[in-house]
Chains A and B, each alone.
Chain A
Amino acid sequence: AQKITQTQPGMFVQEKEAVTLDCTYDTSDPSYGLFWYKQPSSGEMIFLIYQGSYDQQNATEGRYSLNFQKARKSANLVISASQLGDSAMYFCAMREGKGSQGNLIFGKGTKLSVKP
């Protein structure tokens, strides 16, 4: 079974609108971390936001927020006020167990296209 599932291979959003990218995860470990990375066409992986399994509040970083629903095992990324530069692949990833040093397990990604 897949650990990280991103069901949207591609998404379109109009510039200045908000968009939600879906991510569900599967783990039996009570302690885990969830991450979102952005990969523009140039190829680098850019860290966006982190949510810990014990965090009481949803994480926010500027225009990025994470809609964490623990019971549903979902960690959706919300990008507000989309910009043309947001067009990229977005990967959800999870780290489970092994303290803060465990390897990341990635989803297949969602390609976001922002339309002017």
Chain B
Amino acid sequence: EPEVTQTPSHQVTQMGQEVILRCVPISNHLYFYWYRQILGQKVEFLVSFYNNEISEKSEIFDDQFSVERPDGSNFTLKIRSTKLEDSAMYFCASTEVRDSLIHTDTQYFGPGTRLTVL
């Protein structure tokens, strides 16, 4: 069964460093998302991406964040200058776009990347 994959599974970085989190969405999916989950808290939406551009973003997704689809398979989240409060689990998700009028398209999540900022 196809699945979303994410690398690395765990990233440790120093405050102020840049990190790139990588995701490979399910191959026939066209809509991609990043979410984050601070330890013990709920999952929060960061950004959605479609047709090589950002579709929607939350207030969390400030200028420190960027997303890119550098090739036909990868989808990346870059944090330019990490802060302690960026420590969280980051989930990539993807969905197949079949019918824009019906809410049947499920978002499938990757296993997550646990980012620790020291």
Contact = CB atoms under 8 A, between A and B. Distances in A.
Interface string A87-112: 00001010100111111111111000
Contact of B109 (A42, A44, A101): A44
B45 interface: yes
Contacts of A105: 45
Contact of A47 (B43, B104, B109): B109
A50 interface: yes
Contacts of B108: 47
B42 A100 contact: no
B95 interface: yes
Contacts of A33: 103-104
Contacts, number: 81
Interface residues of B, number: 34
Nearest to A100: B105
A59 to B, nearest CB: 11
- What's the interface size class on A, roughly? 20 to 34
B106 A103 contact: no
B50 A101 contact: yes
Report which residue of B100, B101, B102 has the largest number of chain A beta carbons within 10 angstroms of its beta carbon: B102
Given A32-B103, A99-B103, A100-B95, 7 more contacts: A33-B104, A35-B107, A47-B106, A101-B48, A102-B48, A104-B107, A106-B44
Interface of A: 31-33, 35, 37, 42-47, 50, 52-53, 91, 93, 95, 98-109
15 contacts: A31-B103, A32-B103, A43-B89, A44-B109, A45-B91, A46-B109, A50-B104, A50-B106, A99-B100, A100-B105, A101-B31, A101-B100, A102-B48, A102-B56, A108-B42
Interface of B: 31, 33, 35, 41-45, 48, 50, 55-56, 58, 89, 91, 93, 95, 97-112, 114
